[in-house]
Amino acid sequence: MTSKVEAALGRDKIESFTLEQLAAEWQNNEHNKKAVHDEMMKQVVLQRLSQITGLINADCDRPSGTSDHGPISSVNWDEVYEVSANVMDLYTKEIDECLAELDRSYRRQYLWQEAAFTIDSHRGATRIGVAESWIVGKEGNLEFTRQELSTSARVIKKTLEELSRK
């Protein structure tokens, strides 16, 4: 639809219009209205509804107080009911298809979400494991350094005691 608007208005004009201005310009363009109407009227149901509406409007436009007692065409209510039932059936079918597609999308989203959660959990566990290993290594290194310092302190103390006795 953007390309139709661009073609109708020109690319440089589109950037300066607001959404409301674009909508108003599109509605005022009779060519666009006719194109959308022609596309919609390709559907059989809408063609039949248009015929029914035309018959009802023709009956309404006829003056009621005329002296012409010609045959009055009546509306075939069975057809009106059939068309409206068909419209409702098509609507229900399309809504069911949309809901089924939405359900499939939700399932795909759930699978992706679960996969992302699993990957994130694995990465987190790996990082925690690496950090834990580093901490254990550092604790071992600190314990070794503490023991060396303790041994050195004992040697210094012993040496000072021996020197102070002499």
- pLDDT score for 12: 47
Q: In Å, what is the CA distance from 122 to each residue of 35, 111, 116, 157, 164?
A: 55, 16, 10, 52, 62
Residue type, 165: R
Question: Rounded to an integer, what is the distance from CA 85 to the centroid of its chain?
Answer: 31
Average pLDDT of every residue of the chain? 80
- pLDDT over 90 (residue 48): no
- pLDDT score for 67: 45
